[in-house]
Amino acid sequence: MAGITLLKHGPIGEIRLNRPEVLNAMGRDWPTEMQSAITEINGDPEIRVVLVRGEGRSFCSGVDLTQLAAGEIQQRWFHDNEHVFRTIETIEKPIIAGIKGYCIGGGLQIAIACDVRIAADDAIIGLPAAKEGFIPGMSTWRLARLIGMGHARHLILSGQNIDSQEAYRIGLVNLVVPRESLDRELEAMATLYLEVPAPTLKWAKRLTNQAFDLPFEHFLDEFDRAMEVVLASDEHQAALRAWRERKPGMPQDEDS
């Protein structure tokens, strides 16, 4: 995959956007390449947490305007991208985006499909599509769920870029760090998630992905199903035994 590199660091997988000469702009092959990368990383049982970051100076500057102007990117490309973003959003492993430099247009769509976003203090974030006669994809559906309708509408309708501190203020990113600390903070966040049992991460993410879509009664059914699986997991049973060992006088199960 020319535009995307897959890396593996033990239980941490990394998807690296790798077209630094064009600020990691999304070229004509991006939907196919990114879908393949996500499928491969999701199918690796050893990988439990995923990082997404960009090579070079920026995270992603959106669609490759040179290819778009040359007619190499057609309307179907935008449609296919939305299925890729949904795959990122629903993969049953936590995904953390590390944002630096430009994160605009499709780059921001990648980031908001991830579970957590850590931004360097030099990040430039926005959805300029409206200024270019476009609609910024399904960020019109996703962004309001993340930061609320007021902030989302302003970003979408104005096409204005914001800095990382403003992105933090409106809840678009979870953390802002110095540029030189970004990689270290990403790895620290990944390590934090590795301390959580895998079944819990899987089901908690699945539930939150349905939070805005299901009525309460249906969501409660999904919650009950999730709890049945999680409470029966080896990880939960081990946690119970460890807790009992820390609490003298607690009744012990026969298999403890």
Is residue 179 scored above 60 in pLDDT?
yes
CB 21 within 8 A of CB 30: no
160 Cβ contact list (under 8 Å, min separation 6): 126, 154
Is a pLDDT exceeding 70 seen at residue 25? yes
Average pLDDT over residues 7-20: 97
Q: Which CATH architecture has domain 4-194?
A: Alpha-Beta Complex (3.90)
Per DSSP, the three-state class of 73 is coil
pLDDT at 248 over 70: no
The domain limits of the chain are 4-194, 198-246
How high is the pLDDT of residue 256? 37
Neighbour tally for 59: CB within 10 Å: 30
In this structure, what token pair is assigned to residue 73? Answer: 């990117």
Residue 254: predicted pLDDT: 43
* Mean of per-residue pLDDT scores for the chain: 93
Q: Residue 255's pLDDT is what? A: 43
What pLDDT, in 10s, does the model give residues 35-85? 999 999 999 999 999 999 999 999 999 999 999 999 999 999 999 999 999
Contacts of 254 (CB under 8 A, 6+ apart): none
Q: Which two tokens stand for residue 34?
A: 């990114």
CA distance 250 to 247: 6
Name the residue among 149, 82, 155 with its Cα closest to residue 124: 155
